[in-house]
Amino acid sequence: MSEISVTERLRLKKNADRRLKAGHLWLYSNEIDTQATPLKTFEPGAQAVIEAANGKAMAVAYVNPHSLICARVVSRDPNVRLDRSLLVHRLKQALGLRERLFTKPFYRLIHGEGDLLPGLIVDRFDDVLVVQLNTLGMERLGEEVVAALDKVLSPRAIVFKNDSSGRRQEQLERQVSLVKGELPEQVLLEENGVRFAVPVLEGQKTGWFYDHRANRAWLNGLVAGKRVLDVFSYIGGWGVQAAAHGASEVLCIDASGEALERVAENAALNGLTEQVAIGEGDAFEVLAALKADNEQFDVVILDPPAFIKKRKDIPNGERAYSRLNREAMRLLGRDGLLVSASCSMHLAPERLMECIRGAVRHQDRHGQVIYQGHQGPDHPVHPAIPETAYLKALGVRVFRD
């Protein structure tokens, strides 16, 4: 058992404890009474007791004085510390939920604040765990995270995939390393009855996006006999599943040739080589080229990377989402289905709906929203932290009179 003594105090300004009382786990640097407790005196990553303006202890958090979010709460009990014992407890709580939700060991095990472990992401691929330590406070506990995962799950291998853009804001280096065990020749998962090989070392994020599992399952029931276009396909999560569920033909588009090689491998893994084709290129350019060739599809899937990473990106990002949906709709037949997704936290659901509305009218068509999806239950939303609800997916019937 690791023991971390917390003697530091971080005091809030008057009335700056409202969000904390409401359940939020973040504290911003402009909420700190820096006269009483100067942020610059804190060692980055150290833990501190959070005090209200009247000196009452409210919580324990880890601190990064160089970040806008200068403290992240790990417990509301001022006597508790984020150590191996608490990590094991929270891991067991998270595992209990996932084992109720899923019959097979393929899921997001820890979803940061949603599982009360800010800065920590763990994706499970059976006996291989891929970990992201996205904050300085969690980085300092890397060895404890490994020990806790080992105690709870005894995995064959643990990978640290510490290459997220968020680490830059925490002044952390980006690096990828195998920290325990040996990786099998192929890291495999199964989702909605379809198998995938996952590039956990060189792929995007942890190698896979479990958050769309339920949205893919919904679409899988509607693709039999259809011609499907999967834009921003990555390694085929949407497209290969569509083929496995009866799509007559699937074209997967991505800017990464390496990702498309994985699409081909995953199609072969499921005996779907004949149904799945690949095309490399910029999404907007490929959509325009397909239109110029008079191609038509029954289903178009748009699952782009985040066009809006910061608030200042919102105007340009919304224009990009609008343009993307317009171009995609041009490729649908008289009565087609568009799946339009966004993982941009800063794009409000009603703004994605507005992008769809504008695109439908631009094409002089009708639209019916028949599905509204979000992240799966292994990506739990913290009710006090709107930022944890980031994923949106709309299923839209697009048709002419």
Q: Are 89 and 74 in contact (CB under 8 A)?
A: no
At residue 297, does pLDDT exceed 60?
yes
Which H or E run includes 285? helix 283-292
Burial degree of 225 (CB within 10 A; 0-12, 13-18, 19+): exposed
Check if 355 is active-site.
no
pLDDT for residue 263? 98
Q: How far apart are CA 90 and CA 148, in angstroms?
A: 10
Q: What is the 3-state secondary structure (H, E, C) of 194-248?
A: EEEECCCCCCCCCCCCHHHHHHHHHHHCCCCCCEEEEECCCCCHHHHHHHHCCCC
Residue pLDDT, tens place only, 20-61:
999 999 999 999 999 999 999 999 999 999 999 999 999 999
Token duo for residue 117: 């472990």
Q: Give the model confidence (pLDDT) of 103-157 as tens digits.
A: 999 999 999 999 999 999 999 999 999 999 999 999 999 999 999 999 999 999 9
Q: Which member of 70, 252, 343, 355 is catalytic?
A: 343
pTM of this structure: 0.94
What integer pLDDT is reported at residue 173 of this predicted model?
Answer: 87
> How would residue 190 be classed by pLDDT, with cut points 50, 70 and 90?
very high
The three-class DSSP label of residue 272 is: coil
Measured between alpha carbons, how far is 367 from 40 in angstroms, rounded to an integer? 54
From CA 297, how far away is CA 334, in angstroms rounded? 10
**Contact between 329 and 366 (Cβ < 8 Å):** no
Check residue 167 and give its pLDDT.
83
Count the residues in the chain. 401
Residue 4: per-residue pLDDT? 46
pLDDT of residue 3: 42
Q: Which residues contact 332 (CB under 8 A, 6 or more apart)?
A: 296, 297, 298, 300, 338, 398
| Pick from 170, 196, 154, 142: nearest CA to 70 | 170
Give 6's pLDDT tier (boundaries 50, 70, 90): low
Cα 70 from Cα 31, distance rounded (Å): 9
| Residue whose C-alpha is closest to residue 332's, from 367, 371, 376 | 367
Is the CB of residue 153 less than 8 Å from the CB of residue 95?
yes
In whole angstroms, give the CA distance from residue 138 to residue 144: 9
Alpha-carbon distance of 82 to 3, in angstroms, equals 9
Measure the CA–CA gap between 101 and 172, rounded to whole angstroms.
34
| Predicted confidence (pLDDT) per residue in 330-369, tens digit | 999 999 999 999 999 999 999 999 999 999 999 999 999 9
Mean pLDDT for all residues in the chain: 95
